[in-house]
Amino acid sequence: MKITGRDIVITGLQAWDNDIGSNCINIAKEFAKDNRVLYVNFPLDSKTLIKSKSDPKIQKRLSIIKNEKDDLEKVGDNIWTLYPKTTIQSINWIGIESIFDFFNKRNNTKLAFEISKTMKRLNFDKFFIFNDSDMFRSFYLKEFLKPELYIYYSRDNLIAVDYWKKHGIRIEAELIAKSDLCTANSTYLADYCRQFNPNSYYVGQGCDLSLFNPNLRTDVPKDIKTIKSPIIGYVGALVGLRLDIKLLEFIAENRPQWNLVLVGPEDENFKNSRLHSFSNVHFLGPKKMEDLPLYVKAFDVCINPQLVNEVTIGNYPRKIDEYLAMGKPTVATSTTAMEVFADYCYLANNKEGYIKSIEAALSANTSEEEKRRRDFAMTHTWENNVGEIYNAMNDVLTKREEIEN
């Protein structure tokens, strides 16, 4: 059942004016169809102010702090974004927990004041807080603002990243435990949250698949037109921390008759890899978002050669939805997060498994299978994703009513 007519405050790790979009912005827009939403941008911290003062986005924040611009912008029907008129201290470098907690509480106090002031301005009442993984700056907001529901949203295994490890392992667990509920976009992260809070829910992932329609465009990019089939392809950032370079080298070396096409920007690990020495490996570079479906359409088999480590293990692989929306047979590394795709993809556990799975994908594709894949991918809409979040909220509210009565 939908949550309607409520006020929802959203905090998170990404600003509304970021260049790449985010899960949280899409969720906010979906919330706003039936509720009023205040999207809170993170406040400027001292380190960012020093390092990026000339950035136009930082200049905008500074003009707001100086009262030259309004801190509140209406960005759509029922949705506002707040640029806090305050700066906070950069504190992650602090090693002693008690000192970190003291300054973190002070940072939270500043943010809570800005949010409270803006809620009064908007006449927000009986509100929810939806926290998109902002484990430090939003840690004390439940105590300071006293929302009717405090929801923690987990979408990445952040505590595996060096920046978050020092304090995040402790802080995130405490925040999850005291939240009213936790929602996660992968089964792995939902299981992790459930260790600290029984009200933890897998809510899936929303995607905008409007571009990934195999019938939308028929043109073939010039740089892939001359590459012979079978084409085994990947679209996305080529990052050594997240993708298994050794696996790709193994595929290229053991199946020279296959052409391995990699579309996306390379990091130094990829630039310095042996992959560049293979004549059947083609690096096509980064492409515009609207052109990516044309490359996927040209692939015979799509792959997601994920390297399994602490950083990647909980990730929801959104590109799998994009591949399936194009009807493509897909081979991916087997992980807990990939289990929801098991009936629609080939899942491999090792190098040899990848070879066998790609061979099966090349030989077993049918128009019926293509339609089945497309139909499944199209269930992963933002509307359905937020519907699951609403279900989790309603479940917790119902439990609370039963206890109170």
Q: Is residue 290 part of a domain?
A: yes
* pTM, entire model: 0.87
Three-state DSSP class for residue 132 = strand
Q: Are residues 26 and 85 in the same domain?
A: yes
> pLDDT by residue (tens digit) across 282-294?
999 999 989 999 9
User: What pLDDT band is residue 61 in, cutting at 50, 70 and 90?
Assistant: confident
Q: Is residue 2 part of a domain?
A: no
Query: Which pLDDT value is given to residue 239?
Result: 93
Asked whether the predicted pLDDT for residue 175 surpasses 80, the reply is yes
Q: Are residues 113 and 56 in the same domain?
A: yes
Query: Which pLDDT value is given to residue 18?
Result: 81
Query: Which pLDDT value is given to residue 336?
Result: 86
Q: Are residues 372 and 388 in the same domain?
A: no
Q: Are residues 338 and 255 in the same domain?
A: yes
Give the span between the Cα atoms of 145 and 141, in whole angstroms: 6
Q: Which amino acid is at 151?
A: I
Asked whether the predicted pLDDT for residue 357 surpasses 80, the reply is yes
Q: Are residues 345 and 266 in the same domain?
A: yes
Asked whether the predicted pLDDT for residue 405 surpasses 80, the reply is no
Q: Are residues 138 and 246 in the same domain?
A: no
Q: Is residue 212 part of a domain?
A: no
Q: Are residues 336 and 390 in the same domain?
A: no
The predicted model gives 139-159 an average pLDDT of 96
Both structure tokens of 172: 């995130």
Asked whether the predicted pLDDT for residue 315 surpasses 90, the reply is no
User: What pLDDT band is residue 20 in, cutting at 50, 70 and 90?
Assistant: low
Q: Are residues 226 and 367 in the same domain?
A: yes
**Domain tally, the chain:** 2
DSSP state string for 339-375: GGGTTTSEEESSHHHHHHHHHHHHHS--HHHHHHHHH
Q: Are residues 399 and 351 in the same domain?
A: no
Q: Are residues 196 and 268 in the same domain?
A: no
**Which CATH number does the domain housing residue 360 bear?**
3.40.50.2000
Q: What's the DSSP call for residue 123?
A: T
Residue 257 lies in domain? 222-377
pLDDT > 70: percent of the chain: 100
Q: Is residue 167 part of a domain?
A: yes
The mean-pLDDT minimum among 106-120, 156-170, 295-309 falls in 156-170
Query: Which pLDDT value is given to residue 272?
Result: 96
User: What pLDDT band is residue 316 in, cutting at 50, 70 and 90?
Assistant: confident
- Write down the mean pLDDT value for the chain: 94
Query: Which pLDDT value is given to residue 97?
Result: 96
> pLDDT by residue (tens digit) across 225-282?
999 999 999 999 999 989 999 999 999 999 999 999 999 999 999 999 999 999 999 9
> pLDDT by residue (tens digit) across 21-57?
688 999 999 999 999 999 999 998 888 878 877 888 8
Asked whether the predicted pLDDT for residue 19 surpasses 80, the reply is no
Q: Is residue 215 part of a domain?
A: no
Residue scoring higher pLDDT (200 or 215): 200
How many residues appear in the chain? 405
Asked whether the predicted pLDDT for residue 182 surpasses 80, the reply is yes
Q: Is residue 13 part of a domain?
A: yes
Q: Are residues 363 and 389 in the same domain?
A: no
Query: Which pLDDT value is given to residue 384?
Result: 94
Q: Is residue 216 part of a domain?
A: no
Across 248-272, b (16+ Cβ under 10 Å) vs e yields bbbbbeebeebbbbbbbebeeebee
Query: Which pLDDT value is given to residue 312?
Result: 82
Q: Is residue 211 part of a domain?
A: no
Between helices 367-377 and 318-325, what is the axis angle to 10°?
140
Q: Are residues 238 and 150 in the same domain?
A: no
